[in-house]
Structure 1
Amino acid sequence: MTRPFSIAHLTALNCTPAEMIYIASRTGYDFVSLRPINMGLPGEPNYDLANNKQMMRDTKAAFADTGLRLLDIELARIFDGMDPLNYLPAFEVAAELGGRHVLSSIWTDNRNYAIEKFGEVCDLAKQFDLTVELEFVPIASVRSLADTLNILHSANRSNAGIMIDTHHFHRSGDQLEDLQKIPSSYFRYFHLCDAPSQAPTSVDEMKRILREERLYVGEGGVDIAGIVNSIPVNTPCSIEMPNIKRVKELGYEEYARRCLETAKDFLSIHATEEKSLRKKIGL
């Protein structure tokens, strides 16, 4: 397997960026994916590197010490009343740290507004040579592959792409053949985790699983092989696998190690040839 792996900050949310970088280095990752845009969620640490100069210095030192790289930052949400300019300091941080991508998602039902603001976020990011990947989320306003592609086509920004989360794809009910039709240029990285096959019946339970109880790859009911084999072979994989119970049992470092090992073991069996599905349809 030559596919590069990153660890998403949600997997080790209570670790500072520097702590996560050192853990990622010791456990075999190639990248880290950081969360320097503070979402103001209850109990979520604030890793606003733009305004925490000591944390920024520590983060830069950790990258220098380990040789790891920053894959992406998150989360540039599109919501009613938001101002894209508020994300500018985080984009500057991403560029200074050598990042490549910005993760975005849409939480407004006003489609025209969403397209306008997403386009503005893309324009801001482009100043720093950053791409913006739009993720569909089952509890957000844009929650399917078709919805996401509609926004991307309407916004029509050259640095915009799509970010597939294996959990979200499974929950959306989208079909693999539709994923296989997407141009390869839209893919820059994807999120990997597993989950129970059956979706929760309540939004609260969906949120809980999303942030607290995702599963090792191959442990649940998501068609991981089908999804991964429908994404271009060289696309980096960011492991987003928060699981509070396992972190309490194992600690962040051992848990991060097992997340990566189980993912590599599964993909070495099920994705070694990448199935050449995209080649069959000329992508």
Structure 2
Amino acid sequence: MIPKLGLAHFSAINVPPHEFARLAAAAGYGRIGLRLCPPFAGAPHYPLRAGSDALRSLSRLCVDLSIEVHDIEAVVIDAGFDPRTMLPTLEAAAELRATRLTVAGDDPDYARLAANFSLLCELAFPYGVSVDMENMGWRSIATYAQADALVASIAADNSGVLVDAIHFFRNGGDMAQLHSGLARVRSVQLCDVAGPAPETAEAMMAEARAGRLPPGEGELPLHALLKALRPEASISIEVPLSEPGCSAAYHIQHLMACTRQLFEASNETSPKR
């Protein structure tokens, strides 16, 4: 059985939200993520405001297309982060009926990072939004174990861990760690990669932003990851379009085809009950 699949906006980040929703729906996705916040200076994003004509029309379009807005990204909790600045984004998320906000931790002061993450969860709660911490090898929360420990320490009902396959496996994550914190894994992003793991922060960023492969076309143990997940975990695909001359529509459709093949192969190798 193939669950309802989502598509992260980073997979075709140069496509504006309205067209992105149309392309995702046409390819069979049931959910999308939208990048309303820049994860770093100059990163492409679409800062839609609550109550604006653009956001209202996008919300109506998603209803017409029968596609959900699952998560809003990408927020970096760094040393200068003030959770209160996220209130306009949370308002926009609520208007879009999004249920999750994706964040990364990049503050060397762990106590301050934990306090800001906790406050962000508190602020997000009235909007019906949960907050997922994602590890990235070049940030303070570099490993899955660190992300899971942070989420466990604040124990907010609307907090969770996002497992991105490239960041999970490239930064020391293993299935034993995953099983120990599985109840906190609320969202998963699938992709693949091949070759040796990069060793520098610059190389990690380059691989994550332009070196990913469609699920099943690389070397990551994605079958084991899928078999470990709880049924309620939301699964999306995040593979940036990096091939010159490839259209966003074809790329989005190809990611869906590859992911369906991955699930079908996983189902075939699962033990019969």
**TM (normalized to structure 2)?**
0.93
Q: Match of 1:189?
A: 187
For residue 251 of structure 1, the aligned residue among 231, 247, 250 is 247
Q: For structure 1, which runs of at least 5 residues remain unmatched after alignment?
A: 277-283
User: For 1:36-51, what aligned pairs fall within 5 Å after superposition?
Assistant: 36-39=36-39, 41-42=41-42, 44-50=43-49
Shift of 1:111: 0.5
CA–CA distance in structure 2, aligned partners of residues 76 and 112 of structure 1: 18
- Structure 1 match to 2:263: 267
Contact 1:37–1:87 (CA under 8 A) maintained in structure 2:
no
Label 1:273 to 1:141 Cα distance change in 2 as closer, same or farther (>3 A).
Answer: same
**Secondary structure, counterpart of 2:113 in structure 1:** helix
Distance in 2 separating the partners of 1:271 and 1:81: 46
1:219 offset after TM fit, Å? 1.2
Separation in 1, partners of 2:267, 2:87: 38
Partner of 2:35: 35
Partner SS, residue 229 of structure 1: helix
**After the TM superposition, which of the residue ranges 188-197 and 113-122 deviates more from structure 2?**
188-197
> Matches of residues 1-283 of structure 1 in structure 2 within 5 Å?
1-39=1-39, 41-42=41-42, 44-50=43-49, 53-184=52-183, 186-245=184-243, 248-271=244-267
One-letter code of the match for 2:204?
A: M
Greater displacement, 146-155 / 24-33: 146-155
The 1:268–1:13 alpha-carbon spacing in structure 2 relative to 1, beyond 3 Å, is same
Secondary structure at the residue paired with 1:180? helix
Question: Normalized against structure 1, the TM-score is what?
Answer: 0.90
For 1:40-91, what per-residue CA distance to the aligned partner results, in whole angstroms no more than 9, with x for missing partners?
533x333001179343133123213212111111122210011111111111
> Is the 1:213–1:243 contact (alpha carbons within 8 Å) kept by the matching residues of 2?
no
Structure 1 residue 270: Cα displacement: 1.5
Aligned to 1:279: none
Going from structure 1 to structure 2, the CA distance change for 1:146 and 1:201 (only over 3 Å counts) comes to: closer
Whole-Å Cα distance in 2 between the matches of residues 149 and 19 of structure 1?
35
CA contact (8 A) 1:228 1:271 kept: no
Q: Percent identity?
A: 24
Unpaired segments ≥5 residues, structure 2: none
- 1:177 and 1:94 map into 2 onto residues whose CA distance is 34
Measure the CA separation in 1 of the matches of 2:140 and 2:25.
Answer: 36
